């Protein structure tokens, strides 16, 4: 019985949190908020970027992952404000997705970015909350190419709700070795290269491995966190002056599970709305839609159609992201570098 309970708890803590034993949440709308995956995106826009997201994964399945987050980041530096990455004059300028903007694009003046992320993820009896401050430094490598380097640092609060675990013997001594409420340090890094019509980034989350929940002298019984590595890139193609196509891809490297990827395509119509589709390897297809309501707020929604074996018990996944553009001096209604 003890061996069975050890297996159940370790399996739950390591494997159940998301697809393929990924320990951090996954996002279908990463293209709408790359900052959630890469701290080097901190301060990339010329306004204070606030986003709130909610994801209900595999609806209909009891104990399926539910994720909520709040992020905020902003640039710092008078050179960036006066002669920023979009080279706009104060008080307005060219619509950032136009062909003219692409032709006149100038790399950003060196500047800093600061931000904060709050991510809460719950799967069955396991809850994880990450609170991280982020910093990035941006500079122009060439007249049209920018590079930023970022870091995130904070804490991770991990809770295993023992009341949701049913066993034959609730007094089994295995529970004496469980620390089910822990605070752990959290650290991430990233780099981001970007211009007016393409971007490329590499980042790592959870790079400080930690022992979780079960304490034992035997390393075989220890539940460890593992680093998550992300590689993403995309570009913008003008189909007309008013319509752009933005293909992008996200690679995920999480040992010891197989490498997986997301492929995304998004059609944007001026600064009004966008539609798109996404494919996640061995997991799902997704439909996406978004509206730039004004120069203050925009909204994105996606629905994942599960293609894995879970499709027999899952009704798919819902995800919604709301963006707020504070101190938006140029009154742009869509992200300029978030595509």
Return the higher-pLDDT residue of 144 and 96.
Answer: 144
In b/e form, how buried is each residue of 292-302, taking b as 16+ CB within 10 angstroms?
beebeebebbb
The pLDDT score that the predictor gives to residue 210 is 82
30 upstream amide cis, omega within 30 of 0: no
Is the per-residue pLDDT at 49 higher than 70?
yes
Whole-number Å distance between alpha carbons of 115 and 252: 24
Q: Are 247 and 233 in contact (CB under 8 A)?
A: no
Return the higher-pLDDT residue of 101 and 158.
Answer: 158
Q: Are 52 and 76 in contact (CB under 8 A)?
A: no
The pLDDT score that the predictor gives to residue 63 is 79
How is residue 298 written in tokens? 């925009």
Is the per-residue pLDDT at 282 higher than 70?
yes
pLDDT one-digit tens code per residue, 245-275: 999 999 999 988 888 999 999 999 987 899 9
| 16: confidence class by pLDDT, cuts 50, 70, 90 | very low
The pLDDT score that the predictor gives to residue 175 is 64
Q: Mean pLDDT over all residues of the chain? A: 82
Residue 127 contacts by C-beta under 8 Å, 6 or more apart in sequence? 120, 121, 157, 158, 159, 161
Q: What are 27's strand-pairing partners?
A: none
| 107: confidence class by pLDDT, cuts 50, 70, 90 | confident
The pLDDT score that the predictor gives to residue 230 is 96
- At the fourth CATH level, the homologous superfamily of domain 39-326 is monomeric porin ompg (2.40.160.40)
Q: Are 338 and 44 in contact (CB under 8 A)?
A: yes
| 133: confidence class by pLDDT, cuts 50, 70, 90 | very high
The pLDDT score that the predictor gives to residue 28 is 92
> Beta-carbon neighbour count of residue 27 at 10 Å?
21
Return the higher-pLDDT residue of 333 and 79.
Answer: 333
For residues 274-285, average pLDDT? 91
The pLDDT score that the predictor gives to residue 221 is 45
Return the higher-pLDDT residue of 11 and 295.
Answer: 295
- 9: phi > 0 → left, psi -120 to 50 → alpha, else beta; which? alpha
pLDDT one-digit tens code per residue, 28-47: 999 889 999 999 999 998 88
How is residue 236 written in tokens? 């913008």
Is the per-residue pLDDT at 156 higher than 90?
yes
Own/partner pairs for 52-55, CB < 8 Å, 24+ apart?
52/321, 52/322, 53/27, 53/29, 53/319, 53/320, 53/321, 53/322, 54/319, 54/320, 55/25, 55/27, 55/28, 55/317, 55/318, 55/319, 55/320
């Amino acid at each position: 019985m003890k061996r069975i309970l050890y297996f159940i708890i370790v399996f739950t803590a390591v494997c159940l949190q998301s697809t393929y034993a990924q320990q951090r949440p996954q996002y279908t709308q990463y293209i709408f908020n790359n900052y959630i995956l890469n701290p080097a995106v901190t301060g990339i826009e010329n306004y204070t970027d606030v986003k709130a997201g909610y994801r209900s994964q595999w609806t209909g399945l009891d104990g399926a992952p539910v994720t909520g987050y709040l992020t905020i980041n902003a640039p710092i530096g008078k050179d960036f404000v006066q002669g920023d990455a979009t080279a706009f004059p104060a008080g307005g300028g060219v619509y950032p997705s136009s062909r003219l903007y692409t032709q006149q694009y100038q790399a950003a003046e060196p500047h800093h970015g600061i931000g904060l992320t709050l991510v809460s993820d719950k799967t069955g009896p396991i809850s994880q909350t990450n609170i991280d401050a982020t910093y990035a430094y941006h500079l122009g490598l060439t007249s049209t190419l920018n590079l930023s380097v970022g870091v995130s640092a904070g804490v991770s609060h991990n809770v295993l709700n023992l009341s949701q675990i049913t066993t034959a013997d609730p007094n089994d001594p295995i529970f004496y070795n469980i620390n089910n409420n822990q605070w752990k340090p959290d650290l991430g890094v990233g780099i981001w290269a970007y211009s007016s019509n393409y971007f490329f980034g590499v980042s790592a989350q959870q790079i400080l491995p930690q022992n979780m929940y079960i304490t034992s002298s035997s390393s075989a019984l220890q539940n460890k966190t593992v680093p998550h590595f992300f590689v993403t890139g995309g570009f913008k193609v003008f189909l007309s002056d008013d319509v752009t196509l933005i293909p992008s891809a996200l690679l995920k490297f999480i040992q010891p599970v197989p490498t997986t990827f997301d492929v995304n395509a998004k059609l944007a119509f001026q600064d009004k709305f966008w539609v798109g589709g996404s494919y996640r390897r061995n997991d799902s297809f997704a439909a996406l839609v978004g509206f730039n309501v004004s120069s203050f707020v925009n909204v994105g929604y996606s629905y994942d159609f599960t293609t894995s074996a879970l499709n027999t018990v899952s009704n798919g996944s819902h995800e919604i992201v709301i963006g707020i553009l504070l101190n938006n001096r140029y009154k742009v209604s869509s992200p300029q570098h978030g595509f």
